[in-house]
Structure 1
């Protein structure tokens, strides 16, 4: 797992030495494990000697992952939102234990807005519009767990009082969406609505990010709320999708 986690969008191919450095494993151990992972198909070794995550690994993980069902069902809804608004649109799921959100699909904007959320990347649950809307609609026990310790902004390093986050949640539940002007990127506006499964449990968030100066806020919120309801309704026949 440490070797697999060493690969990311900025490091799609790694040498044995780089794997050793990024994992903290001894050189002999990193080299041996990487070769064994090639033998079983999790990694692939290129002619130049570097390693990549193999197509076989992608195939296994995608075909068996329940998040793929959610992503597949969400794509037409997200495409419709993107065609209407022409802003960045994302689908995220919560990892309440790690106090983070995971980006599982996105449609990019043609504008030059600065976007932090990447496909298969994470941001904080408590500093993002998508994270806050999922937390607002989570069970009380989950909210208590998430807010049981001081929260850190992983980008700025600032410590956030969990009481400040708790105070925001009733208003978000009442409105049914989050709307943050500024936030992680000063010139951006971000909005998000919750997505529920057939049991009424929040399992995802549909979000939009746009440059504030280019954003018709009321239009975005209206479009998102309709799309969120439609996506939640469409999940009625989808087997249970677990949340973290």
Structure 2
């Protein structure tokens, strides 16, 4: 009987790992199930290479093939991802406080971290009758326009801030702030006030208020926000609730 452990790569892995990651990167929210041809095209590699690598990925469990012959992200990746401290680990700690905030307000509650120059949403709880939002768990968004993004950008390293503010800034609505000078002022206000305000920057019917979540060393590692229908309340009325939730999660992370 073979003693080869399931999932252990065989032989040289450097270039192979890179090509395998290209295949996995071909999947996204709009492309959850793909044919072999689609995967090869989106990963920009020969069909034969894609086929060989997909066999390896399927054997490990990173990719699964359904009855129709379409490839999908495998459960093994979800199992591995659940070990990430900035993803499901953070979510598990924060979830009771997020649920409390949602129950109190009946509004959208979001939890996010920064990955490079983007926001990655770790959790989102939709309140009953709350305003529709464009974000989804695992989705990415610009740092400059969302409540959580403004918090994370305000507390990011100066070089990250410069990269974001000097680069192209996504424009979503007529209220989206794209002027770097104005954004710098907003980031300073976030650090001074302890919360952020995104006023109709993503959609014209939504107002978001975010607050920082800190680890035991005081470093901002995540952000939480409430997203409500514009005109239903004010940012200052929400700020206390959001900051209290963020502080509770911070205490839980510290212990």
TM-score class normalised by the smaller sequence:
0.7 to 0.9
Task: Please report how far the alpha carbon of residue 11 of structure 1 lies from its aligned counterpart in structure 2 after TM superposition.
Answer: 2.5
- Are residue 210 (structure 1) and residue 228 (structure 2) matched? yes
Query: Which structure has the bigger radius of gyration?
Result: 2
Q: Which residue is 1:69 aligned to?
A: 89
The alpha-carbon distance between structure 1 residues 22 and 215, as it changes in their structure 2 partners (threshold 3 A), is farther
Task: Please report how far the alpha carbon of residue 137 of structure 1 lies from its aligned counterpart in structure 2 after TM superposition.
Answer: 2.4
- Are residue 39 (structure 1) and residue 56 (structure 2) matched? no
Distance in 2 between residues matched to 1:153 and 1:128, nearest whole Å: 11
Corresponding residue pairs, total = 232
Q: Which residue is 2:9 aligned to?
A: none
Distance in 2 between residues matched to 1:131 and 1:159, nearest whole Å: 13
| Partner-residue secondary structure (3-state), 1:80 | helix
Task: Please report how far the alpha carbon of residue 43 of structure 1 lies from its aligned counterpart in structure 2 after TM superposition.
Answer: 0.9
Give TM-score scaled by structure 1 length: 0.86
Alignment of 1:79-158 (within 5 A): 79-95=99-115, 97=116, 99-111=117-129, 113-147=131-165, 149-153=166-170
Stretches of structure 2 that go unaligned for 5 or more consecutive residues are 1-20
- Are residue 173 (structure 1) and residue 191 (structure 2) matched? yes
Stretches of structure 1 that go unaligned for 5 or more consecutive residues are 238-244
Superposition CA RMSD, Å: 2.2
Give TM-score scaled by structure 2 length: 0.83
| Partner-residue secondary structure (3-state), 1:152 | coil
The alpha-carbon distance between structure 1 residues 10 and 145, as it changes in their structure 2 partners (threshold 3 A), is closer
Task: Please report how far the alpha carbon of residue 213 of structure 1 lies from its aligned counterpart in structure 2 after TM superposition.
Answer: 3.2
